[in-house]
Chain A
Amino acid sequence: LAKTTQPISMDSYEGQEVNITCSHNNIATNDYITWYQQFPSQGPRFIIQGYKTKVTNEVASLFIPADRKSSTLSLPRVSLSDTAVYYCRLESTGNQFYFGTGTSLTVIP
């Protein structure tokens, strides 16, 4: 299974931009990169997906360098409600159902 590595936890103050980087050195040509958000006692929620370069939606941006060996989820001006676990996933055949340990983000007032 394709492996991802991301920080276990991060803290940020309200109003700051938060960048969470995920390493995936063994990414395959056909792999998509997907990020999910999970609040306590709830199921994960899709945030954003990309293949290369930059993707932006109303919630976040995803930056993927040319070699695709890492990706960075960027959350602009976080608020307390952004406190959650953020999962980086590689989507490939046989691996599209699995989640790693995620990054626990705590937003501080």
Chain B
Amino acid sequence: ETGVTQTPRHLVMGMTNKKSLKCEQHLGHNAMYWYKQSAKKPLELMFVYSLEERVENNSVPSRFSPECPNSSHLFLHLHTLQPEDSALYLCASSPEGQVGEKLFFGSGTQLSVL
């Protein structure tokens, strides 16, 4: 148990659906992250939030919309996804988002887009 909980663990959605991924951390951290990991590929950083403000956005398509209502919760809203968006979506947190901090990851949401 890492202290970072992601729901759901698995999600299957059609291209016209709207769904949301949820992440919650119980570590008192101020920085949270979304990563995407496609099969047999490295982790791709999507978004970084620090104190509920987005500080990094790696040219992610607008069909992915993050939301950070407070420092403990992070959402990824999904709409009109494509089959190539099928991947493992990982949430992570760290104390302040600074160099040298450990990243604590959740177990991820395995997303399949049909």
Chain A residues proximal to chain B, CB less than 8 Å = 30, 32, 34, 36, 41-46, 49, 91-93, 96-102
Contacts and interface: CB of A to CB of B under 8 A. Distances in A.
Interface string B102-114: 1111111010000
A101 B41 CA distance: 7
A30 B99 contact: yes
A82 to B, nearest CB: 18
B84 interface: no
How large, as a class, is the contact surface on chain B?
20 to 34
B108 A43 contact: yes
Contact of A45 (B35, B97, B105): B105
Top 8 closest A-B pairs, CB basis? A43-B105, A99-B43, A46-B102, A43-B90, A96-B99, A32-B100, A101-B42, A91-B99
Contacts of B103: 36, 44, 46, 97
Given A43-B105, A49-B100, 11 more contacts: A30-B99, A41-B107, A41-B108, A43-B4, A43-B108, A46-B102, A96-B97, A98-B45, A99-B35, A99-B42, A99-B43
Given A43-B106, A44-B103, A96 B98 contact: yes
The interface residues of chain A, by DSSP majority, are classed as loop
Interface string B1-13: 0101000000000
A102 B40 CA distance: 11
A101 to B, nearest CB: 5
Contacts, number: 55
Residue with the greatest number of chain A CB neighbours at <10 A, chosen from B91, B92, B101? B101
A91 B100 CA distance: 6
A2 to B, nearest CB: 11
B105 A44 contact: yes
Contacts of A96: 97-101
A97 B56 CA distance: 10
Contacts of A93: 99
Contacts of A102: 42
